[in-house]
Amino acid sequence: MTALVVGAAPLRAARILAVILSGTLLLTLAAKIQIPFWPVPMTLHTLAVMALALAAGPRLAVATLLGYLAAGAAGFPVFSGTPERGLGLAYMAGPTGGYLAGYLIAAGLVGALAAGRGLLGRVAAMLAGLTVIYAHGLAWLALFVPADRLLAVGLAPFLLGDLVKVGLAAAGASALPALRRAVAR
């Protein structure tokens, strides 16, 4: 019996690390995919953050976002537009840095608010998360864009696409119990 308990900790740690690495790869892939959309092409970044928060819960989602941001800070081309628009901390300090910080906070918030909730509760949690992403993103973007253009540049082109992504994550939430069981194993 003791051998099972002692051996369980490294196995659990390995599973958690596998979830974090898989989530980091998912976030990277989501950042790199561009879908034609009006008025600007969209990535699947927000969809991945929301889906990860719903599936993994707040602690694993935040750990995964921290891993993703650490990889980006270290210079790996994990973000949208990298390496063309820069790498590492220079990219993170640029106009999209606030949105990246918002993703981290939203992952924890959405994971916590959505836990144990039905479809409407999960949608409300994702809308709260989206609000956090935009609040941080726009606050940081204000350092780069004149105030009279801030909403036109940092919100309006992306809001419809992000609402579609919230809808997609909500639609995929029916698979949530099976995903949670798989993550728990």
Residue 166 contacts residue 50 (beta carbons within 8 Å): yes
Instruction: Confirm whether pTM is higher than 0.85.
Output: yes
Q: Any long-range contacts for 162-167 (C-beta under 8 Å, 24+ apart)?
A: 162/42, 162/46, 162/130, 162/133, 163/130, 165/42, 165/44, 165/46, 165/47, 165/50, 166/46, 166/50, 166/123, 166/126, 166/127, 166/130
- Model pLDDT, residue 35: 87
**pLDDT tens digits for the chain (185 residues)?**
444 455 668 888 898 999 999 999 999 999 999 888 766 678 999 999 999 999 999 999 999 999 999 999 999 999 998 999 999 999 999 999 999 999 999 999 999 999 999 999 999 999 999 999 999 999 999 999 999 999 999 999 999 999 999 999 998 876 666 665 666 66
- Model pLDDT, residue 151: 97
- Those residues whose C-beta lies under 8 Å from the C-beta of residue 86, and which sit 6 or more positions away, are 94
Reduced to 3 states, what is the DSSP secondary structure of residue 39? coil
Reduced to 3 states, what is the DSSP secondary structure of residue 93? coil
- Model pLDDT, residue 183: 61
- Model pLDDT, residue 37: 74
Residue 157 contacts residue 39 (beta carbons within 8 Å): yes
